[in-house]
Chain A
């Protein structure tokens, strides 16, 4: 066991080694760049077609884009309030990025979110935003005082609570995705070749489509909740 199981990321181009571990351009980087290229091309296409958009949508393409943008904006304003709708572009693109990377397992790529580096980087943006907006709204002195609330003895607990946010956020997404990837790899290793056509499709439906959509929604939803809490 172990050799035929294939769920870890692989190094495509190796730069150097640290303690025998290769460091370089991995499949995660490759898939992220692929997603970035696809989404950028989509955005450019929409931007070019924007000039031909009419006030009342006539083409199917405009209908799809308007529904997408409206529902994403509705999600952000619903979670953060009408006054914070400036966050809508940021969280919409975050949601679309995580969604596409979670669904990548369907077409045979390894999801980049099944790598702790990706999810931790994403949750680190949330962490920095939480702390930054908390300082900006309360002032630096009040921000520091918040750590000694309600009793100075509780300072370590408050500090740990702040530091646990990005860790739990990133591990939730990573754990769900790696769980799906590992179980799919185990099923593919266990099934003989002639059974690999139909049966894994049901598991793909749950682990990739259902769990992937749900987890991307939850990651963005929790990020928005944390950031809007620090805005108050």
Chain B
């Protein structure tokens, strides 16, 4: 087997780091699910306001998704841009 060079080590650690960064996907998942659950409750209580509730829910979910997107970008940068090599 060949020797592990410094570059290989950095690439392996970058892959681990990308996986760790994606743990942040937990947060938006919980948050979006919570928003969707609340919106469902609201629609059940007030079915005539369905359109407003759904669009408000989608915008709120998009805002809460931001942290997940940031972690995803960090993972992408670690995997494909390779800034540490």
| Contact with B73, one of A171, A218, A225 (Cβ below 8 angstroms) | A171
Nearest CB on B from A126, distance (A): 15
Closest to B73 in A: A175
Within the assembled complex, what's the spacing in Å between the Cα atoms of A221 and B55? 9
Please give, as numbers and ranges, the residues of chain B lying within 8 Å of A179 by CB-CB distance.
69, 72
Please give, as numbers and ranges, the residues of chain A lying within 8 Å of B65 by CB-CB distance.
172
Contact A178 to B59, CB < 8 A, known contacts A168-B66, A172-B66: no
Q: Check B63 against A175 for contact (C-beta < 8 Å).
A: no
Kindly supply a per-residue 1/0 record for chain A positions 201-232, scoring 1 wherever the CB is within 8 Å of any chain B CB and 0 otherwise: 00000000000001101100110010000000
Contact A171 to B66, CB < 8 A, known contacts A214-B58, A222-B59: yes
Within the assembled complex, what's the spacing in Å between the Cα atoms of A176 and B70? 10
Is chain A's binding surface mostly helix, strand, loop or mixed? helix
Please give, as numbers and ranges, the residues of chain A lying within 8 Å of B63 by CB-CB distance.
222
Q: How many residues of A contact B (CB 8 A)?
A: 18
Please give, as numbers and ranges, the residues of chain A lying within 8 Å of B76 by CB-CB distance.
178, 182
The 10 A-B residue pairs with the shortest CB-CB distance, nearest first, are A175-B69, A218-B62, A168-B66, A221-B59, A175-B73, A172-B69, A175-B72, A171-B69, A179-B72, A172-B66
Nearest CB on B from A8, distance (A): 8
Closest to A219 in B: B62
Interface centre among A179, A214, A215 (most CB of B within 10 A): A179
Sample of 7 A–B contacts (CB below 8 Å): A8-B80, A171-B66, A172-B66, A172-B69, A175-B70, A178-B76, A182-B76
Closest to B71 in A: A175
B:29-81 near A, CB below 8 Å: 55, 58-59, 62-63, 65-66, 69-70, 72-73, 76, 80
